Structure 1
Amino acid sequence: MAHTIKIAAAQLGPNHLTSRREDVVDRMLRLLHEAASYGAQFVLFPELAFVTFFPRYVLTPEELEPFFEHGDLLTSPTTAAFFSEARRLSVDVSLGFAERTPEGEGFNTSIYYSASTHSILSKYRKIHLPGFVDPLPDPNAINQLEKKYFQPGNLGFTAFRAPALVGITTEHSDSTKVPRSSSEREAMRGDPIFGMIICNDRRWPEAWRCLALQGTEVVFCGYNTQGYCPELAGTSPHKPQTKAEAEAAALVDHLLVMQSNCYMNSVFGVCAAKAGLEDGNFDLIGGSSIIDPKGKILAMTETRGDEVIVADCDLDEVKYGRSAIFDFDRHRRVEAYALITGQTGVVEPPFLR
């Protein structure tokens, strides 16, 4: 039986400080319906999907709190209807949001929602937080304050299986999926194995390898990436860049890490951006893509607005890389990798005499 899933990435155009959550959710519902009309069985939405990218602002605690989600997304008055509609359409979704825990902790979080079980199957909290704890002294600088507003993720890079996807072609209807028998499940080689990362995590190969070592077949990555942010990346006093050059380089960097990590781990990669000009001043790149285990782009957005892309992902393609060049069991040499987990910063060799 085919081991193919039709996957969609739903790119969002800009959200602004003045954007209402209800309006954003309405846009997401339109994208969800469009993806379902193409037969998508799963849709990925961006990092911090419901709000503007607020870590660029210096906010008081009172100003900050409305950007966070409190409690269960499946029952929240603002977001419950979105997940109910995903269930009606029999389409799984993953999306990012700012999570405030009952203990008061803040995380940059993504979740995987299963339509067949009407439950959140897995949660991931962003580990590689970029930027700074304190605002930059230059009042004209573009701040990146994720380290101020979020704590590093504490759930690790955890793979999980998603039910009721493989071997089913989703023709949009109001009917729910029929549970499979044990023999059918065995014929399908098991439910697919997924993993989630968020934005800056995609630049760290350790994240991908941790997921690949658990058999992950598809890695999902939502992101909000500033095109021009000289305080963080892309330009230096030795090699200054114009705004246009920095934005072009940011897109190249994004695709480079997505494609190379898909290839080096023999996984499909799906990434969804929040893109465009937020709040009239902050330009986020697009480049939402679906990439195969050889690093080939199967589909990519053409705009920086609300847009859906779809691709058929044959998960048997993952097996080829995992049985050849990237057969981890045969070729990895963990005894040589101690620096990866034993050292954080750079330690240079001694100077020559």
Structure 2
Amino acid sequence: MPRPLRVAAAQVGRVDRSEPRASVLARLITLLEEADKQAVKLVVFPETTFTTFFPRYLITDDVELNSFFENEDAVTGIVDAPNVKPFFDKAAQLGIDVVVGYAEKTPDGVPYNTASYVSGRRVVSKYRKVHLPGAFEPFNDHPDTTNQLEKRYFKPGDLGFQAFRAPSLRHEVKSPIIGMLICNDRRWAEGWRCYGLQGAEIMCIGYNTVAWAPELWGADPNMDRDFARQDALFHHKLVCQAHAYTNAMFCITAARCGWDDGKFELITGSMVVDPEGHIIAENKTDGDELVVADIDLDACLQGKARTFAFEKHRRPEHYGVIVERAGVVEPPEVI
């Protein structure tokens, strides 16, 4: 029996460092209203949706730094955070489930790069980014350098990879099983497999991925910028399509993209990928855009029951090295 669902990636274009939260919220609400007109039931928004991607800057002013974080309510979570409450009120009014990324400051002051799945003003599940890229110190102090300081501003996520049901999207007697990753997490197979082993059917990924960051990549600073952009986009699509296929799940990716402050470029790549790894819908612009797709969750069954029937074919007794070490240990030379 088909299990139809209309989903969307909400791509968000340029957001400058100084853009007010209210201006960003107005844009996000417009995307929600467009989703409502198209009868979309689930919308995935980007990483740090409500602000520019501030970890590119070395920010020494605590007042400015704190302004990029959302202070969650200890009981209700992000939905009652004062700066962003109108967004969640609108989503609830329209009956749309959302996955949205933001910089979280816990009630006891711990900072995380976070995404929450919200349905009807209820936080169904929360994910905190595990694989923080970059470094604690800036690469250099040149104003045009794209630094990556997530390790400075965030703690590694502490919630693991916990799949969950989305009851408001129930079809007949079965609710979709959802997973969430954030940006760099999508490059790491371990998180995908953890979700795959819980039967996840939809992976939701928001991201801010730079198009030009030779210091971060360890690349030639004189490399061609068009090549760098296309290479970053290629690798984004590569990992999402490959891991959606190897775990037999749909994947919805939402980009924060465009030229922030007119000089820091982020790639696009907002798309919906099916369980066979095919892109079935993708962005057409580098601005605010809703990428809509009709999916059938039963399309996951072929991969889960045959090609990647884990219970039939996996051999976990041989996979111990994956959890026994973090770094590479090379085999000895043969003498």
TM-score range, shorter chain: over 0.9
Residue 343 (structure 1) aligns with: 325
Q: Counterparts of 2:93 and 2:64 in 1: how far apart (Å)? A: 35
Residue 56 (structure 1) aligns with: 56
**Are 2:236 and 1:254 aligned?**
yes
Secondary structure (helix, strand or coil) at the match of 1:55 reads helix
1:189 deviates by 4.3
Alignment of 1:167-182 (within 5 A): 167=171
User: Structure 1 regions of 5+ residues with no counterpart?
Assistant: 168-187
Q: Counterparts of 2:49 and 2:275 in 1: how far apart (Å)? A: 27
Q: Deviations for 1:187-232, whole angstroms, at most 9, x for unmatched residues?
A: x342111010000000001010001111110000000000011112
The question of whether the paired residues in 2 share the 8 Å contact of 1:275 and 1:285 is answered with yes
Q: Counterparts of 2:107 and 2:91 in 1: how far apart (Å)? A: 26
Q: Counterparts of 1:276 and 1:105 in 2: how far apart (Å)? A: 30
Aligned equivalent of 1:88, options 82, 85, 93: 93
Q: Deviations for 1:43-63, whole angstroms, at most 9, x for unmatched residues?
A: 011000000010011112232
Secondary structure (helix, strand or coil) at the match of 2:331 reads coil
Residue 142 (structure 1) aligns with: 146
User: Across the two proteins, how many residue pairs are aligned to each other?
Assistant: 329
The question of whether the paired residues in 1 share the 8 Å contact of 2:70 and 2:83 is answered with no
Secondary structure (helix, strand or coil) at the match of 1:32 reads helix
Q: Counterparts of 1:351 and 1:232 in 2: how far apart (Å)? A: 32
**Are 2:167 and 1:163 aligned?**
yes
Alignment of 1:187-266 (within 5 A): 188-233=172-217, 235-236=219-220, 241-266=223-248
Residue 106 (structure 2) aligns with: 101
1:241 deviates by 2.6
Q: Counterparts of 1:234 and 1:319 in 2: how far apart (Å)? A: 41
Q: Counterparts of 1:30 and 1:63 in 2: how far apart (Å)? A: 27
Secondary structure (helix, strand or coil) at the match of 1:287 reads coil
**Are 2:292 and 1:287 aligned?**
no
Residue 30 (structure 2) aligns with: 30
Residue 152 (structure 1) aligns with: 156
Residue 70 (structure 2) aligns with: 69
**Are 2:118 and 1:113 aligned?**
yes
Residue 19 (structure 1) aligns with: 19
Q: Counterparts of 1:327 and 1:121 in 2: how far apart (Å)? A: 28
Q: Deviations for 1:161-198, whole angstroms, at most 9, x for unmatched residues?
A: 0112133xxxxxxxxxxxxxxxxxxxx34211101000
Q: Counterparts of 1:5 and 1:233 in 2: how far apart (Å)? A: 38
Residue 41 (structure 1) aligns with: 41
Residue 131 (structure 2) aligns with: 128
1:82 deviates by 1.4
1:306 deviates by 0.2
Q: Counterparts of 1:86 and 1:22 in 2: how far apart (Å)? A: 16
1:86 deviates by 1.1
Q: Counterparts of 2:212 and 2:270 in 1: how far apart (Å)? A: 18
Q: Counterparts of 1:27 and 1:55 in 2: how far apart (Å)? A: 22
Identity of aligned residues (%): 47
Q: TM-score, normalised by structure 1?
A: 0.90
Q: Deviations for 1:26-77, whole angstroms, at most 9, x for unmatched residues?
A: 0000001111111100101100000001001111223211000012332233
Secondary structure (helix, strand or coil) at the match of 2:28 reads helix
Residue 185 (structure 1) aligns with: none
